[in-house]
Amino acid sequence: QWIYLNGEYVSKENAKISVYDHGFLYGDGIFEGIRIYGGNIFRCKEHLDRLYDSAKSIMLDIPLTREEMQGALVGTIRKNGLRDGYIRLVVSRGPGNLGLDPLRCPAAYVVIIVEQLSIYPEDAYRDGLRSVSVSPRRNLPDALNPKIKSLNYLNNVLVKIQSNQAGVGEAIMLNAQGYVAEGSSDNIFVVKRGVVYTPPCYIGALEGITRGAIMELCERLGYKLKEEPFTLHDVYAADEVFFTGTAAEVIAVREVDGRAIGEGRAGPVTTRLLAEFRKLVTVDGVK
C-alpha cells in the first residue's frame, strides 16, 4: 500500500509525520472521505470544492491547485491498483512550534490514503440499523460552521463511543437547542407521509456530498423534499429514517431509542433511493 505524502509515494510503514504537526497538536486541518466506484472518483469536483472552501475559511494554503490535487488522487489510486474503495484526503496545517499560531507553520501537509472499504453487510441495508440519540451536542463554532470539514472530530468520537456502548451502528446527534443535526459521520433524513425531510446545514449538519446526491435524486424521482429543522419526536414518529454518507451510502434505520420506525425494516422510499443512488455511482465520476 502506497501513501501520498507531500508529493511522494511512500510505503504505509514509512508514512510518518512530525509530532509538531498542528493537525496532531490541535486538530488544525481539514479532510475529505471520497469513494471510488469502478475506477471512478465519485463526485470529485464536489469533494474538492468542499475541501478548498474549508481551506479558505480556516486560512490554510493548500500547496496544490485543484487540478494537481485531482492528479494526486488519480495517481494514488493507480499506484495502489484499486478500482473500488475509499480515499482519505487530509490537509493539515503542518509542523510548527508548540504555540497555536498557524503563522509558525510554513507548509501544510497533504496526505492521501486509499483503502478497501469495510461497510455494513448487505442485509443491514434491507433490515435497517438500530440507532440511539446521544448526549454530545454539535458544539460551537462547528455548529455554526458545519460546512468546514475540519479535523476536530472529538464530538463525533464521543458519539461513536456512546453508540458502541449502546451496540448500534450509528447514532443521532442533536444541536445545542435539541434539534436533530446528524450522525457521527452521516447525515440524517426522515420520511413522513411521502415527504422527505433533512435538517438544514445551519442546524449543525455537514453539507454531505451523499446528502446532496440524495436531494437531487428526490427531485428527479418526484419526492417532495423539505430542508427544515426537526426534533426526536419527528424521528420517532417517522415512517422511515435513513442515514447517508460516503462510506454508508444510504442506510435505513429500523429503531431509534427503542421505538420501531415504520415497519421495522427499510421502507419503500429508502429502498428506492438506495437503488437509484447505486445506479448513479456507476455513471457519475472522474476516471
Which set of grid coordinates corresponds to residue 196? 422527505
Q: Which CB, 105 or 205, lies closer to ligand PMP?
A: 205
Name which position in 204, 245, 262, 285 contacts ligand PMP (CB under 6 A).
245
> Which of 4, 3, 49, 60 minimizes the C-alpha distance to 27?
60
Residue number with CB closer to ligand PMP (128 or 146): 146
* Residue 76 beta carbon to ligand PMP: minimum distance, rounded to whole angstroms: 19
# binding residues, ligand PMP (CB under 6 A) = 14
Choose the binding region for ligand PMP from 101-109, 178-186, 192-200, 269-277 (rule: CB under 6 A). Answer: 178-186
Residues 24 to 83 in contact with ligand PMP, rule: CB under 6 A:
33
User: For residues 125 and 170, what is the distance between their CA atoms, to the nearest angstrom?
Assistant: 13
Q: Identify the burial level of 59 via C-beta atoms within 10 angstroms of its C-beta, where 0-12 means exposed, 13-18 middle and 19 or more buried.
A: exposed
* Strand spans (E) along the chain: 2-5, 8-11, 29-37, 40-42, 85-92, 109-115, 129-131, 133-138, 172-175, 180-182, 187-192, 195-198, 224-227, 240-245, 249-256, 259-260, 285-286
Residue among 131, 156, 163, 175 that touches ligand PMP (CB under 6 A): 156
Catalytic residue among 149, 226, 279, 287: 149
**Could you tell me which stretch among 7-15, 115-123, 205-213, 251-259 binds ligand PMP (CB under 6 A)?**
205-213
Region near ligand PMP per CB under 6 A, out of 64-72, 189-197, 201-209, 264-272? 201-209
Q: Which of residues 246-285 bind ligand PMP (CB under 6 A)?
A: 246
**Which one, 76 or 198, has the nearer CB to ligand PMP?**
198
d(CA 93, CA 104): 10
Site for ligand PMP in 99-138 (CB under 6 A): none
Residue nearer to ligand PMP on the CB measure, 77 or 172: 172
**Distance of alpha carbon 134 from alpha carbon 32, whole angstroms:** 24
142 binds ligand PMP, rule: CB under 6 A: no
Residue 93 as a binder of ligand PMP (CB under 6 A): the answer is: no
Residue 155 is a binding residue for ligand PMP (CB under 6 A): no
Interaction between residue 241 and ligand PMP (CB under 6 A): no
| Cβ 96 to ligand PMP shortest distance, Å | 26
Beta pairing class for 224-227 and 195-198: parallel
Strand partners, 34: 87
Would you state the cell numbers that stand for residue 52, as one nine-digit string?
A: 478548498
**Amino acid code (one letter) for 128:** G
The position carrying cell 507548509 is: 107
State which of residues 208, 262, 267, 285 lies at the interface with ligand PMP (CB under 6 A): 208
Instruction: Tell me whether residue 30 or residue 266 sits nearer to ligand PMP (CB atom).
Output: 30
Burial of 224 (0-12, 13-18, 19+ CB in 10 A): exposed
CA–CA separation, 200 vs 212, rounded Å? 12
147 classed as catalytic = no
Q: Site for ligand PMP (CB under 6 A): which residue of 211, 230, 241, 253?
A: 211
Q: What's the chain's Rg over C-alpha atoms?
A: 19
Active site residues: 149
Interface ranges with ligand PMP (CB under 6 A): 33, 156, 182, 185-187, 206, 208-211, 244-246
